[in-house]
Amino acid sequence: MVNVLPLVLLGGGVIYLDVYRKQLLDERFKLALVEAQIIAEALAGASNARQAALLIQLGKEQKLRLRLYDAEGQLEADSFALAPPTFALANPADRLFARALDEGFDRLVGTAPLPPYREPAVDEAGAWPELERAREESLTQIVLRHAPDRSHVINAAAPVGLRGETLLLTRNPVDIVESVRRARSLVALAVLVALAVSTLLSLFLARTIVNPLRTLVQAAIRVRQGRDRQVEVPRLPQRRDEIGLLARAISDMTAALRQRIDAVDSFAADVAHEIKNPLASLRNATETLGTVEDPALRAQLLEIARHDVRRIDRLVTDISDASRVDAELSRATFERVDLLALTRAIVGNRDDRDQNAGHPIRVDSTLEAIPVMGEPSRLERVIVNLLDNAVSFSPPGAEVLLEFASSGGWVTMRAIDAGPGIAADRREQVFERFHSLRPEGEGFGHHSGLGLAIARAIAHAHDGTLIATQRPDGEPGACLTLTLPAAANSR
């Protein structure tokens, strides 16, 4: 707005000046028309002496040049010949700059060029087209011309009486040009003042923009170099403009980047710790195997080694999935998936393969289909992980309930088991990577501790949530609730 202000003033001033000039000329046209008609009526029927006296008197009072032509078009009387001239056209050489401004303004607003005003070598009616038209049409004619100094000259031709005489009235309204030039000077002054103010404000705004940007750049460089873990990116809370938004966005991005780096570091440490344990067990078993002669003990050591190998393979697979899930989902193209049909297919497949450890799985839904937008294989992984968790914590033969609902544009799936449940203060911990809380009696190393962490990451990537609560009916057990946006209905 600061930079546009001078242009607005300039454009508005140009339009105003053009309208102002046209209004002044219209008023003078009307005045010339009335004057020509009144003077023509006064001259009609008057004697030659009286006509000469009227031409002198009216020309002097109104600052006009009045010329009277007879029926043959010959000049009969000229007020400038009968008396001293009442006006004189300015010398164009004295106003070169003003003329240049006038010409530039006319080009800017697209004013049609006016014919030049020149005195004819032989002053007769045929030298003035307006006189010819007035004689032919018996109507007053008005013509606007440019004087050599770019001032206006108004000629009004009117028929006089019944003797075929015609009157030519000439006016040089220099006051119009002067008024327009004064107005133009005021507009130019206003534009210059606005330009100066705009320049100063632009410099001020540049400083208020550049300095914070430099601070943000320096902070970003320090973050990139990683020399200072405690680099504070200024949030500029007092600024409500784009710079403030940028500062807060960079600050939030930096905080998220640090959290991601810390999470990667923590994940790497957890991976090393989790793999180190089965590797240590595997190393002890293999080292001891060479010194043991007892077949039963050798078989036991071989089983330990096989178990550790399977545990390492499971860990590597889950760790690979956990590390790839965010990157793969960021590039995935979501498609319409019927979550209810997908769940029923998974449950049926697990029943066929006897993967539910004797637990009946019941799918409860009042809806025929529950469409969501997502990546089918990843949504399948969430459901499988929730079922594995519910089956592993449920007592033998206990039912696992998968309950579906849809409301307000959101789809909810609850995985409800009959196990010991999750204490309120540990409901967030179960989603941490390598969480080690396992049901009693389960063999060591059968789970990596990444299942629920992977499930929650996939839910978040689908703009959903995964939380742990108590059972809605108050019975013992846990309830893991998956919430996803419902797919828009397509017709």
Give the contacts of 68 (CB within 8 A, at least 6 positions apart).
Answer: 43, 51, 55, 75, 76, 77, 78, 160, 165, 166, 167, 168
The answer, yes or no, to whether residue 68 has pLDDT greater than 90, is: yes
The two tokens of residue 274 are 């989790």
Indicate which CATH number applies to the domain containing 373.
3.30.565.10
Average pLDDT over residues 449-472: 86
Domain match, 386 and 470 both: yes
Indicate which CATH number applies to the domain containing 94.
3.30.450.20
Average pLDDT over residues 182-197: 78
| 225 falls within a domain | no
Domain match, 49 and 175 both: yes
Helices (H), 332-465: 339-352, 376-393, 451-461
The answer, yes or no, to whether residue 6 has pLDDT greater than 60, is: yes
SS (H, E, C) 300-315: HHHHHHHHHHHHHHHH
pLDDT in tens, 112-153: 788 899 999 899 989 999 999 998 898 999 999 888 888 889
Domain match, 277 and 359 both: no
pLDDT value for 133: 92
Cβ atoms of 249 and 243 closer than 8 Å? no
| 296 falls within a domain | yes
Domain limit, last residue, from 331, 352, 373: 331
Q: Using CB atoms within 10 A of its CB, is residue 152 exposed (0-12), middle (13-18) or buried (19+)?
A: buried
pLDDT value for 328: 67
The answer, yes or no, to whether residue 111 has pLDDT greater than 80, is: no
Place of tokens 């020309």: 59
The answer, yes or no, to whether residue 375 has pLDDT greater than 80, is: yes
d(Cα 413, Cα 458) in Å, to the nearest integer? 14
pLDDT value for 309: 83
Beta bridge partners of 401: 362, 416
Domain extent for 352: 333-491
| 200 falls within a domain | no
| 93 falls within a domain | yes
Domain match, 44 and 161 both: yes
- Count how many domains the chain has: 4
Indicate which CATH number applies to the domain containing 299.
1.10.287.130
pLDDT value for 434: 64
d(Cα 270, Cα 267) in Å, to the nearest integer? 5
Cβ atoms of 179 and 24 closer than 8 Å? yes
| 425 falls within a domain | yes
| 389 falls within a domain | yes
Domain limit, last residue, from 331, 361, 380: 331
Secondary structure element (H or E) that encloses residue 171, with its range: strand 165-171
Helices (H), 156-294: 174-225, 242-289
pLDDT in tens, 206-259: 777 777 888 888 888 877 776 556 667 777 777 777 888 888 888 888 777 777
Domain match, 40 and 164 both: yes
Cβ atoms of 69 and 166 closer than 8 Å? yes
pLDDT value for 371: 92
| 198 falls within a domain | no
Average pLDDT over residues 34-44: 90
Domain match, 448 and 325 both: no
